[in-house]
Structure 1
């Protein structure tokens, strides 16, 4: 259990947590876990929170600055940033403006600059990696994710923590710095088992499906630890044109076993517009699939929820599982097809271990805990 990691090690320095704009909910939950696990440390430091108060105010032109309201000299600082939270706004020339990923990333740099090199160590926890989809060059184009990582390291960031990175090879951009890519596999499976009341009957005819070739790595892992079959879709794209920043998909071709009366979990790193996910689910149902579930670390739903409402109504999708690592709209949380997977305890455990400079290997590979869940021998924590 994650609780086994607590109270085992000695911190390398006083722990401080900075939650950027839009991550207040998960930062508060992480703080509560750490205060519970480290009650003696909190008492000795005479504190009731590990959070550090900061602010990134804006001028009327939209320009901003970062402010830290207490000393962080010599502290081990963890900065949590959701650069995809468009629910945060600011005034620019009198107009309410949604914060873009660029705005969030700039504020992150402002807070790092405000620390002024006085911290013992800085770790950035960025669940969904800024510009993570712009990880490779296919023509004369910018390599934004690599540049962003290098900029953070140049500013003094020692570790970068992210989840379900679109292409893990992006860490090659900063080969001498810490970069950890975690996966919500354990939390997803645990939530799925506890939510689906007929899980025992579901798992008897279960298959894992990747919506494209790029996601096969994570799907192979799920398939292996769950001991079920694997399939994939091949996306045939039109590379002669670009629509909304990407080459449009012409068709999905399925590679895998017979799907008749099978229960299917489609697994991907993110749901963007949702078109590909629903298209894949539709084709699975056409091939005789019984129930179709969706696992995605990040639910962006950047073209609305209506298509998923319709997919559920038409019996295409049973349920969608995403994490609370990024912003979720109030409307999304009301949907009967949506289930949120809480990652706050896992992130708190990562901070707990890193603050003591110990190995993260057991947190990175939860195979035994997953097998315990599937064999119904896990206790809730």
Structure 2
């Protein structure tokens, strides 16, 4: 409500650009109509547009179709991706582009395959596309099938978010069972709920994962990393600042991605 009130105030004051920066788009996962429920992702878009926003900036939206909830004649939706930010971090810390044969990039399941295929094409690193076998009575995964050879490789699991941690944990365990040397998690949004932190603590304790690299789309206490040694947080500030500057100068946002591609 504070965001909507702020946008309305800017509109009434005659501001030319009224940009809503929402790294984690709230209600992003409520993007499909369910029986006797409203389409909350659309409702949020209506609130933002009605309040007078001219631009919305968000990072790794759960469903790219959310852009269609905004009328582009009123409010321009700018969906950014943190992939290059993550790749730059892993290249600086692990040298993933210097020894590509030592690494693999993995999805959590087939739902995240497009992200991993894009990364594989961009970097030349081997993609891993796990298949989740579900028990359709309980809707819980029975097993994870991995066909690629990951023995002795350092595997980075990419996803848009970590919520309960259950799916990522199952995939990490399956990769370890297949002989992966080290496993890292890379996710844009640390939207931890339920037992997620405890699950990640257990994965680290048992030597299954090394680190979980996340962005600052969510805030944590200053001592969180000290208490949870798997936790690494990188900042979105530069990407967001450059995007805002480009929009307000009426320059294409795509230039930011071109610059990031060259810097990897």
Paired residues of 2:162 and 2:192 also in contact (CA < 8 A): yes
Say yes or no: does 1:205 pair with 2:102. Answer: yes
Paired residues of 2:11 and 2:18 also in contact (CA < 8 A): no
Say yes or no: does 1:129 pair with 2:19. Answer: no
Distance in 1 separating the partners of 2:156 and 2:93:
14
Say yes or no: does 1:281 pair with 2:172. Answer: yes
| Deviation (angstroms), 1:366 | 5.0
Paired residues of 2:133 and 2:145 also in contact (CA < 8 A): no
Say yes or no: does 1:263 pair with 2:135. Answer: no
Distance in 2 separating the partners of 1:300 and 1:195:
24
Question: Of 55, 60, 85, which residue of structure 2 is paired with 1:164?
Answer: 60
**Pairing 1:2-13 to 2, within 5 Å after superposition:** none
Equivalent in the alignment of 2:116: 219
Pick 1 or 2: higher relative contact order, CA cutoff 8 A, min separation 6. Answer: 1
Q: Secondary structure at the match of 2:12?
A: coil
Say yes or no: does 1:187 pair with 2:85. Answer: yes
Q: Which has the higher helix share?
A: 2
Paired residues of 1:202 and 1:263 also in contact (CA < 8 A): no
Distance in 2 separating the partners of 1:238 and 1:347:
41
**Is the alpha carbon distance of 1:226 and 1:112 closer, same or farther for their aligned partners in structure 2, counting shifts above 3 Å?**
same
Q: Give the total of aligned pairs.
A: 259
Equivalent in the alignment of 1:62: none
Q: What is the alpha-carbon root mean square deviation over aligned residues? A: 2.2
TM-score (normalizing by structure 2):
0.89
**Is the alpha carbon distance of 1:120 and 1:156 closer, same or farther for their aligned partners in structure 2, counting shifts above 3 Å?**
same
Say yes or no: does 1:330 pair with 2:222. Answer: yes
TM-score (normalizing by structure 1):
0.63
| Deviation (angstroms), 1:180 | 1.0
Question: Of 236, 247, 256, which residue of structure 2 is paired with 1:363?
Answer: 256
**Is the alpha carbon distance of 1:173 and 1:217 closer, same or farther for their aligned partners in structure 2, counting shifts above 3 Å?**
same
Equivalent in the alignment of 2:206: 314
| Deviation (angstroms), 1:110 | 2.0
Q: Which has the larger radius of gyration?
A: 1
Say yes or no: does 1:145 pair with 2:41. Answer: yes
Distance in 1 separating the partners of 2:175 and 2:101:
18
Unaligned runs of 5+ in 1: 1-105, 242-247, 374-381
Paired residues of 1:122 and 1:159 also in contact (CA < 8 A): yes
| Deviation (angstroms), 1:368 | 3.4
Equivalent in the alignment of 2:9: 114
**Is the alpha carbon distance of 1:332 and 1:278 closer, same or farther for their aligned partners in structure 2, counting shifts above 3 Å?**
farther
CA shift digits 1:131-182 (9 cap, x unpaired): 0011112544321001111221122111111000110111111142311111
